[in-house]
Structure 1
Amino acid sequence: MYDLTVIIPTFNEEANIRNIVLAVDAVFRENSLNGQVLVVDDNSSDGTIPAVTDLKRIHPNVDILVRTEDHGLSQSVADGFRHAASEVFVVIDADFSHPPVLIPRMYEEIKKGYDVVIGSRYMEGGGIKDWPLKRRIISTGATFLGRLLFPDVTDPVSGFFAVRKSVVFSAPLKPRGYKILLEVLGKGTWEKDKEIPFEFVDREAGASKLKLKTIVEYAQQVVDISIHSFLHRDNAAWREWTRIFKFGIVGLSGIIVNLGILIGLVELFGISEDLGGPIATECAIISNFFLNDLWTFRTFENGKHSSRWRRLVAFNVVSAGGALINIGIYLFLINVFAVYYPLAQFIGILVGFIWNFTVNRRFTWKKARPKK
């Protein structure tokens, strides 16, 4: 039994495979780790398989699993989970996009009690080097969708991570595409996660395998994880969907508060409609804030990080932004595309709601972590 297994999924990586295997093995030796290198190959047509076979003769801790069916990076990693000879797995790309020198740190964090340790490109200290604009846009969009499910994880679609075997052992994984970490987070059994920054360096040898099919598979994966969270209800994604639902209920209550106060001010107190509208709106915002603070995010330890009044100011600013987005989209759709006005308003409300939830979740309550 090894201390950890580094899983390297490959397909036609002849240009990189020997160097990455030797680099990982060197990290093992330099840090006195009893580690296994498991190459999981999708039946490459180049020299990848012979290269690893040659390395096996010299390095007994190197192994290869050749897959002839159901090809794909995520599928390869999932098969690697099942064949690894350790209780801790580290997933790393073959093209040196992920730095092998961070493997020991990931392993140490797992030993400290974390269930999942993620190499993050998007936290402070991380970054991306030499990526074209198109790929940056795609990655940003994928990360945004992933953070809707796991907002406390800055890089839920990272391909560089460590995980305990117990997290994925009985998980109903349905791997597809390239975002296996999202599948692990959505369906695995875990409580504590840790992120460490790293700089992603684009491959120097070989060809990138990002295609339109990958984007479609990712969208399907997000839907599948969302359905799974609704069916099982005891995971991080379900808890986030619950917050979104509560946030929506609070928003609906704000409409009632707004209309009730407006009618009261105008009809009972004789305040002008021009003045009553803004007062009623601000009262609704305040009501929404306190309901969210005390209900939607009540399990968050907010008091340790910021005062309630600061959060109220932040909530006001974000809500103003949501209102402007709503109005802007409404006017744009009816004037540019002649969209039927109720539909245009609905789309504006929906986009404004997404803005309000995601921005408030990340900034108004940004430093609050769920209680374990």
Structure 2
Amino acid sequence: MMDSVLLSVIIPTYNEREAVPALVERVRRALGTVPYELVFVDDSTDGTDALIAALAREDPRIRLLHRTGQRGLAAAVVEGIGAARGEVLCVLDADLQHPPERIPDLLDAMEQTGADLVVGSRYLPGGSYQGLDWFRRLMSRVATRLAQLLLRRARVVSDPMSGFFAFRRSVVEGVELRPVGYKILLELLVRGHFHKVAEVPYVFEARAAGRSKLTLRQNLEYLRHLLRLLPANPEDLRFVRFGLVGSSGIAVNTAALWGLVRLGMHYRPAGALAIAAAVTWNFLCNDAFTWRDRRSQNRRTKLRRYLRYWAVTGVGSALQYSLYLVLTAAGLPYLLSNLLGIVVAVGWNYRMHGSWTWKTTEATITRVVYRAT
């Protein structure tokens, strides 16, 4: 376990007076000789801040940041990150549902695997969320699936909703964190700088004291947070952009086909020319819009990508054109046959253009599961 690097344990609190003494003692026993500080960021109105201040007078490792007029767990953690002095930071809820005894496992996972970020997961074998009732379990699952559907980096871990995790300071250096609500890990996953993440299974325990702070307002704030994070990573809106470009390509293709047929050209050569016009249009728009973060910087690169685009799209176009011919010959209207062919080609084109035409050298994120021995 890391015993030479200062650990900052950031604990947001809101009316957790009953839980704080037990939390401080359990952290003290769990960390033993590990150099650490406890950074409490408190929004309480029940005297929790006075209790923490009294504990801080007895133990210099305890620090208190008391906020007035401010609310929000995630924002509290961000303030704690700014005040923390450690090179390794750990986020822990004050209600004892995150077992402090597992903090050494997070540190061991970081040291043994070289991970930048270590996440405590309720969804790995050996973990559970027994501390939640059935309704909150359902809400947690729905929130997890929604995040993983919308945010590519949320799929890196099994439990992006976890509030129990540790990370190196380098993960947030130079990063502007702007969370909404209470899910700070999502903010780090999407905006943070990391190349390797480890997951450690843990049991989410029943609340020892007080009551849950989860409200309808916080659920709505979570949805706002997801929407705010969508533009942060180019990958998360890329398919939407690709779809918009594709839609414009359909318009170009359909207009060209209609115009050529109206001018008296046979539907076969008209279809081929309409495809060529749409492919060229789509390449230019995708280079400037869909993959704008990888945009061609010179003519040579653009020409090479254009040729690759044709190679990839050629396969999709062959599928499209074959369906167009077969379905039109079978009696379907030629415009409908053309549209069905386009739909079939979209999946192939998007996957191959992202992995080859606009291939990126961006480092991939490695995920490992660590189990304490």
TM-score bucket (shorter structure): 0.5 to 0.7
Q: Verify: 1:80 aligned to 2:80, yes or no.
A: yes
Paired residue type of 2:23: I
Unaligned runs of 5+ in 1: 230-236, 300-368
In the TM superposition, residue 184 of structure 1 has moved relative to its aligned partner by 1.7
Contact kept, 8 Å, 2:88 with 2:169, in 1: the verdict is yes
Paired residue type of 2:15: N
Partner Cα separation in structure 1 for residue 38 and residue 214 of structure 2: 25
Question: Judging changes above 3 Å, is the alpha-carbon distance between structure 1 residues 248 and 53 closer, same or farther for their aligned structure 2 residues?
Answer: same
Give the stretch that moved more between structures: 88-97 or 165-174: 165-174
Q: Which residue of 2 aligns with 1:137?
A: 138
Contact kept, 8 Å, 2:320 with 2:341, in 1: the verdict is no
Q: Verify: 1:35 aligned to 2:36, yes or no.
A: yes
Q: Which residue of 2 aligns with 1:13?
A: 16
Q: 1:264 aligns with which of 309, 325, 330?
A: 325
In the TM superposition, residue 2 of structure 1 has moved relative to its aligned partner by 5.8
In the TM superposition, residue 201 of structure 1 has moved relative to its aligned partner by 1.9
**TM-score normalized by the length of structure 1:** 0.66
Question: Judging changes above 3 Å, is the alpha-carbon distance between structure 1 residues 240 and 195 closer, same or farther for their aligned structure 2 residues?
Answer: farther
Paired residue type of 2:326: L
Q: Which residue of 2 aligns with 1:182?
A: 186
Q: Verify: 1:49 aligned to 2:49, yes or no.
A: yes
Contact kept, 8 Å, 2:8 with 2:36, in 1: the verdict is yes
Partner Cα separation in structure 1 for residue 133 and residue 100 of structure 2: 24
SS in 1 for 2:51: helix
Contact kept, 8 Å, 1:243 with 1:297, in 2: the verdict is no
Partner Cα separation in structure 2 for residue 143 and residue 182 of structure 1: 10
Q: Verify: 1:193 aligned to 2:254, yes or no.
A: no
Partner Cα separation in structure 1 for residue 124 and residue 346 of structure 2: 30
Paired residue type of 2:75: Q
Partner Cα separation in structure 2 for residue 249 and residue 108 of structure 1: 47
Q: 2:220 aligns with which of 212, 216, 220?
A: 216
Q: Which residue of 2 aligns with 1:232?
A: none
Q: Which residue of 2 aligns with 1:327?
A: none
Contact kept, 8 Å, 1:95 with 1:204, in 2: the verdict is yes
Deviations 1:47-74 (A, max 9, x none): 4223222322332212211111322211
In the TM superposition, residue 20 of structure 1 has moved relative to its aligned partner by 0.7
Question: Judging changes above 3 Å, is the alpha-carbon distance between structure 1 residues 195 and 203 closer, same or farther for their aligned structure 2 residues?
Answer: same
Partner Cα separation in structure 2 for residue 160 and residue 293 of structure 1: 34
Question: Judging changes above 3 Å, is the alpha-carbon distance between structure 1 residues 127 and 238 closer, same or farther for their aligned structure 2 residues?
Answer: farther
In the TM superposition, residue 261 of structure 1 has moved relative to its aligned partner by 2.4
Contact kept, 8 Å, 1:40 with 1:76, in 2: the verdict is yes
Q: 2:230 aligns with which of 211, 221, 226?
A: 226
* Structure whose alpha-carbon radius of gyration is higher: 2
Deviations 1:66-99 (A, max 9, x none): 1113222111111110111211110011111112
Q: Verify: 1:107 aligned to 2:111, yes or no.
A: no
In the TM superposition, residue 182 of structure 1 has moved relative to its aligned partner by 1.1
In the TM superposition, residue 244 of structure 1 has moved relative to its aligned partner by 6.2
Q: Which residue of 2 aligns with 1:239?
A: 235
Question: Judging changes above 3 Å, is the alpha-carbon distance between structure 1 residues 225 and 371 closer, same or farther for their aligned structure 2 residues?
Answer: closer
% identical equivalent positions: 33
Question: Judging changes above 3 Å, is the alpha-carbon distance between structure 1 residues 134 and 371 closer, same or farther for their aligned structure 2 residues?
Answer: closer
Paired residue type of 2:147: G
Give the stretch that moved more between structures: 108-117 or 61-70: 108-117
In the TM superposition, residue 7 of structure 1 has moved relative to its aligned partner by 0.8
Tell me: higher relative CO, structure 1 or 2? Use CA pairs within 8 A at least 6 residues apart.
2
In the TM superposition, residue 255 of structure 1 has moved relative to its aligned partner by 9.2
Paired residue type of 2:197: D
In the TM superposition, residue 262 of structure 1 has moved relative to its aligned partner by 3.1
SS in 1 for 2:156: coil
| Equivalent residues, number | 285
Partner Cα separation in structure 1 for residue 119 and residue 242 of structure 2: 29
**TM-score normalized by the length of structure 2:** 0.66
Deviations 1:112-157 (A, max 9, x none): 4322111112233322104223212221222122213122222112
Paired residue type of 1:168: V
Q: Which residue of 1 aligns with 2:175?
A: 171
